[in-house]
Every structure is written in C-alpha cells, then in structure tokens.
Amino acid sequence: MRILLASDKFKGALPSPEVAAALQHALAEVFPGAEFDTCPIADGGEGTTEAMVGALGGVWAEAAVTDAQGRPRTARFGWVPAERRAILEMSAASGLALVSDRPLDPTSASTAGTGELLRAAHKLGAERILLGIGGSATNDGGLGMALALGHRFERRGAPFVPTLATLPEADRLRLAPPLFAEVLVACDVDNPLLGPRGATRVYGPQKGVRDFPWFEARLSHLADLAAAATGTDPRETPGAGAAGGLGFGLLAFAGGRLTPGFELVAAQVGLAARVARADLVITGEGRLDEQSLQGKGPVGVARLARAQGKPVVGVAGAVADSAELRAQFDLLLAIKPAEMPLAEAMRRTAELLGATVRAHAAELRALPRP
C-alpha cells in the first residue's frame, strides 16, 4: 500500500513537513508495511517556500534585505540548483508580520526588500523564480521592488529616485534588462490595481491606508509610466492588485506571470502524478471550512484524488460542519478535543495528529481501495 501525505502547514502550530512526519509515524502503525510519499503542499501564501524546498529537494539560502520600513533583515529563500530555480516569499522581506512592532505607515512602506531578495537569487545563479506574495505590508505597486531591480526614473531629464510621496514628480521610466527567464507568481486574488476592487480600497485599510485618493493617484501614475516604457498596461489584469499592487509590479517590472497558488505549487511538485501512484491520500491544514473551498491546498488535493478515484482523508485542527466540504473527502478528522484550549492544542499538534489517526484506525482501514 502506498500512502501520499500531501498536507499544508497547521498555521502557527506545525510546518507541513512536521505534519507529514507526525502522520506517517501513526499511519505506519495502522498500515504496517505501507510505503509513504511525503509531498508538503502550500497555496502560495506564507509557508510556500518551506513546503516547496522539501518537496523539490532544495536547500536554504539567505540574503540581506530591508523590511517594509527600511530596517535590515536576513531573509531565507529556497534554492534548487539542478533547476536553477529560487523559491521566494515576499513576506520574508516585505511582510506585514515583520513590521508589526511599529505603527502602520503605508506612505513609507516599500517593496524594496522583495527586489533585494530577487537580486540575491539572481546573484546565486537563479534563472527561474517561484514567488509567493501573501502577507504584504505595502501599498506601493512594486515601486520599491522596481528600484531595487535597477529600473530608473527621471524627472525633467535628470535621474530621480522617487518615494511613493514624490512619485508624481517622475516623468519617465527607463527599464533595466530582465534578470530571469521565468517568474511565476502565486496569486489567489483577481483584483485589478485600481478602482473599487483595487489594491488600495480592498486591502489597503489592513495596512493603515486611509487616504484612498492619495494612493490611487500614485499607483495610477506608476502604471502610466510603466505603460509608456513597456508598451503594455497590466493594471487591469486579474491579480494586479494583489499584495498592495505588487502583482502589477511583478507583471510590469519583472516579467512575472500570475498563477493560482495551489495550481502553481501542484504543477511544480508533480502532485497529479504522485496522486496517481497512491492508494490513499492524506491532506490537511489548521482548519478546514468554507474558505478552504476557495483555492486552498487541501481541497485542491482532494479534488485531484477524487478525479483519479483515490480515497482521500482530510485532517485538521478543526473541521466546519459543511456539506459541501464533506463532499470533497471520504473522511474528515478534527484533531482538537472540544474541551482542550486552543493554545494547548496548538502546542500539542504533533501528538494530537498521531492520537487522532490511531483513534480512527478502523475507519481508515475501511476506506475503499482504488
């Protein structure tokens, strides 16, 4: 019997490789002699790099970057030498969590650190980039990243280094040569750069944005400059408004291609083929609920398994009572006892995973075989 372990992280409690290890330890008791294929998954948000490094047999690299408020940081990224591919998360450099110790100031928050992370990958020899853009602290349209990548602005014919505040003074953009053959961007939203559904109005408030017209004017001017320089205008592209407009910036300044996060990760790790070789598929994340149906990894795994006639089990800290969710799985298991405080359950996630598998051994053995 071959069991595929394709779980996402349990956010705040256990990274996906450790989730898989805990599940495998218990499942080996339920199915003696079983073979295991461990394939950590992610949906393009935080934790994507860790999952991909493990799944692709990569290694870790480090880069000196600045966070969204310009403070020095060391950011990790994944490196797969055989493929000349780097796996990055913008949150490692420009993430909201990194500046949570300071009052939010979106007028000065910059994606420069993301550009620095990309340059570090280029220096290492990367030709292909996989980049997750969840968890942004910025609303600069990728301006900081563009500057870090070597693109140059002018004001009345003279070199000019704009901030978001002074960007309206720039009247020309000169593009630097592209650094990469391929930049795949994990993006699970379809917002344009501007307007009622754009970066500023939809996602800006959580980053401290209050003066919508101020930001809209600057992002619009940045889009105009980019259009004049590139001959293309991606401001209306679905996903351009992701991560404070970084989706737009990656399209305009890095040759990026936006792809749904789970689909991108699944393709890179050959998930469909691994499901095909499995007799049982186990997946999960910290919570399975209605939101999981909107492009989240475990439901993506379940749909792949169902399409190939493979039994699939979902394991989570908590499972919502949803008929639509239940329909995706042959078995759903919640590991948190009702009486246990959440904080304690999160500390004991690995233990609870094992205990839950053992407690439901009979149901697991009774699942249909393909």
Q: First vs last Cα of the chain: how many Å apart? A: 11
CA distance 40 to 51: 5
SS (H, E, C) the chain: CEEEECCCCECCCECHHHHHHHHHHHHHHHCCCCEEEECCCCCCCCCHHHHHHHHHCCEEEEEEEECCCCCEEEEEEEEEHHHCEEEEECHHHHEHHHHCCCCCCCCCCCCHHHHHHHHHHHHHCCCEEEEECCCECCCCCCHHHHHHCCCEEEECCEEECCCCCCHHHCCEEECCCCCCCEEEEECCCCCCCCCCCCHHHHHHHHHCCCCHHHHHHHHHHHHHHHHHHHCCCHHHCCCCCHHHHHHHHHHHHCCEEEECHHHHHHHHCCHHHHHHCCCEEEEEEEEECHHHHCCCHHHHHHHHHHHCCCCEEEEEEEECCCHHHHCCCCEEEECCCCCCCHHHHHHCHHHHHHHHHHHCHHHHHCCCCC
Q: Would you tell me how many other CB atoms lie within 10 Å of the CB of residue 361? A: 14
Say which residues have a Cβ less than 8 Å from residue 327's Cβ, sequence separation at least 6: none
The rounded distance, in Å, linking the Cα atoms of 298 and 313 is 10
In the predicted model, residues of the chain with pLDDT beneath 50 are none
pLDDT in tens, 76-102: 999 999 999 999 999 999 999 999 999
Do 48-262 and 2-41+272-365 have the same topology in CATH?
Answer: no
> Are 237 and 251 a contacting pair, CB within 8 Å?
yes
Q: How many residues does the chain have?
A: 370
CB contact set of 341 (below 8 Å; sequence gap of 6+): none
Q: How far is the C-alpha of 237 from the C-alpha of 92, rounded, in Å?
A: 25
Domain boundaries in the chain?
A: 2-41+272-365, 48-262
Contact predicate 142/252, CB 8 Å = yes
Please state, in angstroms and rounded to a whole number, the distance separating the CA atoms of residues 7 and 320. 18
Q: Which CATH number fits domain 48-262: 1.10.150.120, 3.40.710.10, 3.90.1510.10, 3.40.630.30?
A: 3.90.1510.10
Architecture of the domain whose range is 2-41+272-365 = 3-Layer(aba) Sandwich (3.40)
**Predicted TM-score (pTM) of this structure:** 0.85
